[in-house]
A and B are shown apart, each in its own frame.
Chain A
Amino acid sequence: MQHLDEGMIHSWLDGALSADEAARVEAHVKECPQCAAAVAEARGFIAGASRILTALDNAPRGVIPVAAPKKRFDPLVWRVAATVLVVATASLMLLRDGGEKAQNATANTDSSGSAIGSSAVTGIAPAAPNADEAIKETAGPTSTTARPSRAAAESKSPTTKQDNVSVRASRPSVGSTEKGIARGVAADTVTGIQALAGAVSGVAHPGEKTSPASQPKITARENEAIVDQKSGVTTGNAPPSSGYAGAVAATPLAAASQVPPSTLKLRGVMSLDATRDQLKVVGTPRTFGAKVTLYEVAPGDTVTLREDLSLSLSAVVVTGAQAAQPRQSVEKSAATERAKRADTAVVSAADSQRPVEALRSPVRAPSVAAPISRVEVADGVTTIIWMDATTGNTLRLSGRMPEGRLRQIKIRIEQERTAAAAAKQNP
């Protein structure tokens, strides 16, 4: 047997070995003087260590100050904080919803009001619903966030005035006040988009079918409207039939029937775009006050469509004064007032040809389409905001992609929404 190592000796002395191992160690120690000496030394270390450790028991008190117990938040504080957070979030959503709608509605009202000024027959009907919408929404706070950089960039663009229908707003609308330029960008045609892109940035996208920026084609459904507040003269070289935001076709099909063949051809090209048939809903996360839909436009590439539901304070809270005042009279007076304030108007030929039944349709009738959209880019995320002509809800389509591609997706989504709405009405 080899000599015992120190660990084995200590294990034996501590009684940690099995009976067999202990017997073997014991026998070896009896026969091996060297290991017997090591065992004796180990006994000394064990006794010495134990004595030294006993000396540690003479420890003073209070060498280390006792740490104060950590204060924990009272559960009541958490409850109050949670309540405040919920209320603040809900208020923010309601206010933002109201502000956005007021902005869109005001812009629409301006355009509708413009139509009234030049066409007594066709102007009243489209103005009414928009004015109703505006008066409803402007009841809430309409504070908006200024975006000076974008406004400045667009106002400085040398080609801004020559490419589109520009209308002087005698009264700055909420939307135009906010940006300096109320821009309704057409999404249905490539021409409109590219014309705008070329006008603003001065860079044309190669390989895409575009019209020269100086002669943009604006369809009746989707168009470009730039409102210059500084002057009061209507400018622009677009043909009258190209239309203005307030005078447009009701549905995409109707719009298609009114656009030039060249535009239709382009639209057909767009229909073959890669976005087609790849748009599928991958999620509908729950959100308060809005309907959110996630579309997958390409593998791993998604866009988010947020539809703010028509939930305003006035809709859920009815005060005594509101209850006493007839709602219809308010809407009517509001529409009349807005009609009076409109002193410049551009009316498209398409609008003048609109059927009388459609013009007399109730509030939010499909014939009052022409949603003016605007685009925001923040942190690489492009967002198109527009108002759905059918429901009147504000829609936000966001995605990390260029504006042009997002607009193509927007068209696809609109088509699907229209088809879904039609299917719902005629199951």
Chain B
Amino acid sequence: MTDVERLFRTYNAALVRYLTRRLGDRDWAEEVAQETFVRALRQTSIQNERAWLFAVATNLVRDEARKDMRRRKHLALLAEEERDAMVEPEETTLERAQEAAMARKAIDALVEKDRLALLMREEGLDYNEIAEALELSPGSVGTTLSRARRRLVESYEALQKSQEEREKNAAS
């Protein structure tokens, strides 16, 4: 097994999940993950593999987002409207879709640094790896994560509350 194969088998699932959560699109996430591993091929040596992979993937997303941010915003809006208008036959699927939509809104409400730190932590990166990937000081990662978690949960609960009120109003 080559180094790239080992890297791929070890980190691909976590990286794709991180990117999917970050981007909201699995195809795009897989594409960025593949590009990240291609970049890893060109590196002679990587000190901290996981931190390096997540940092490169984050930068790829950022660069890509800079290029055609307007187009992506437009498409994201369309996708959101489509999700909101989507009517699923099964109630459980609808609930899941609503949860996903609210989660997306909540995560998108975070500032970039908080969002990325939280997503990386969810993929098991330790504080030092997060600090390295995001170029933060290790001592500030705890504060960043606590702020991100609080805001994410509060934002999500607020969305949940407004959703419940809409459903009540619709029922009445």
Residue B6 lies at the interface, judged by CB distance under 8 Å to chain A: no
Residue B127 lies at the interface, judged by CB distance under 8 Å to chain A: yes
Nearest CB on A from B65, distance (A): 10
Closest B residue to A17 by CB, please name it.
B142
Picked from A10, A44, A60, A66, the residue with its CB within 8 Å of the CB of B142 is: A10
Residue A8 lies at the interface, judged by CB distance under 8 Å to chain B: yes
- Asked if B153 and A66 make an inter-chain contact with CB atoms under 8 angstroms apart, the answer reads no
- Asked if A52 and B145 make an inter-chain contact with CB atoms under 8 angstroms apart, the answer reads no
CB within 8 Å of A: which B137-153 residues: 140-150, 152-153
Picked from A8, A42, A53, the residue with its CB within 8 Å of the CB of B118 is: A53
- Asked if B25 and A56 make an inter-chain contact with CB atoms under 8 angstroms apart, the answer reads no
* Chain B interface bracket (under 10, 10 to 19, 20 to 34, 35 or more): 35 or more
Residue B166 lies at the interface, judged by CB distance under 8 Å to chain A: no
Nearest CB on A from B51, distance (A): 14
Taking CB atoms, residues of chain A closer than 8 Å to B141 are 11, 16
| A16-B142, A64-B28 known; A57-B153 Cβ under 8 A | no
CB within 8 Å of A: which B105-150 residues: 106-107, 118-119, 121-122, 126-127, 140-150
- Asked if B21 and A53 make an inter-chain contact with CB atoms under 8 angstroms apart, the answer reads yes
- Asked if A62 and B156 make an inter-chain contact with CB atoms under 8 angstroms apart, the answer reads no
CB within 8 Å of B: which A40-73 residues: 42, 44-46, 48-50, 52-53, 55-67
Residue B27 lies at the interface, judged by CB distance under 8 Å to chain A: yes
Taking CB atoms, residues of chain B closer than 8 Å to A66 are 27-28, 31
* Cα A104 to Cα B23 with chains together (Å): 71
Nearest CB on A from B128, distance (A): 8
A-B contact count (CB 8 A): 119
Taking CB atoms, residues of chain A closer than 8 Å to B83 are 60
- Asked if B24 and A52 make an inter-chain contact with CB atoms under 8 angstroms apart, the answer reads no
Taking CB atoms, residues of chain B closer than 8 Å to A9 are 142, 146
Picked from A8, A45, A60, A62, the residue with its CB within 8 Å of the CB of B149 is: A45
Taking CB atoms, residues of chain B closer than 8 Å to A49 are 118, 122, 148-149, 152-153
Residue B96 lies at the interface, judged by CB distance under 8 Å to chain A: yes
Residue A379 lies at the interface, judged by CB distance under 8 Å to chain B: no
* Cα A11 to Cα B147 with chains together (Å): 12
- Asked if B20 and A7 make an inter-chain contact with CB atoms under 8 angstroms apart, the answer reads no
Taking CB atoms, residues of chain A closer than 8 Å to B161 are none
Taking CB atoms, residues of chain B closer than 8 Å to A58 are 96-97, 99-100
Q: What's the tally of chain A residues with a CB closer than 8 Å to chain B?
A: 31
Residue A31 lies at the interface, judged by CB distance under 8 Å to chain B: no
Closest A residue to B93 by CB, please name it.
A58
- Asked if A56 and B146 make an inter-chain contact with CB atoms under 8 angstroms apart, the answer reads no
* Cα A11 to Cα B121 with chains together (Å): 11
Residue A273 lies at the interface, judged by CB distance under 8 Å to chain B: no
- Asked if B122 and A50 make an inter-chain contact with CB atoms under 8 angstroms apart, the answer reads yes
* Cα A61 to Cα B83 with chains together (Å): 12
Residue B26 lies at the interface, judged by CB distance under 8 Å to chain A: yes
- Asked if B143 and A6 make an inter-chain contact with CB atoms under 8 angstroms apart, the answer reads yes
Residue A301 lies at the interface, judged by CB distance under 8 Å to chain B: no
Nearest CB on A from B26, distance (A): 5
Closest B residue to A11 by CB, please name it.
B142
Closest A residue to B22 by CB, please name it.
A56
Residue A14 lies at the interface, judged by CB distance under 8 Å to chain B: yes
- Asked if B149 and A65 make an inter-chain contact with CB atoms under 8 angstroms apart, the answer reads no
Taking CB atoms, residues of chain B closer than 8 Å to A44 are 153
Taking CB atoms, residues of chain A closer than 8 Å to B104 are 56
- Asked if B142 and A56 make an inter-chain contact with CB atoms under 8 angstroms apart, the answer reads no
- Asked if A7 and B26 make an inter-chain contact with CB atoms under 8 angstroms apart, the answer reads no
CB within 8 Å of B: which A1-29 residues: 5-11, 14, 16
Residue B38 lies at the interface, judged by CB distance under 8 Å to chain A: no
Taking CB atoms, residues of chain A closer than 8 Å to B64 are 67
Picked from A16, A42, A60, the residue with its CB within 8 Å of the CB of B127 is: A16
Q: Mark A101-132, 1 if CB is under 8 A from B, else 0.
A: 00000000000000000000000000000000
Known A49-B149, A52-B103, A53-B107; further 20 A-B contacts with Cβ < 8 A: A6-B143, A6-B147, A6-B150, A7-B140, A7-B143, A10-B143, A14-B145, A16-B127, A48-B153, A49-B153, A52-B106, A52-B107, A53-B118, A53-B122, A55-B100, A56-B20, A56-B100, A57-B17, A59-B100, A64-B79
Binding site for B on A (CB under 8 A): 5-11, 14, 16, 42, 44-46, 48-50, 52-53, 55-67
8 A–B contacts from the bound complex (CB under 8 Å):
A16-B142, A45-B146, A48-B149, A48-B153, A49-B118, A49-B149, A53-B122, A55-B102
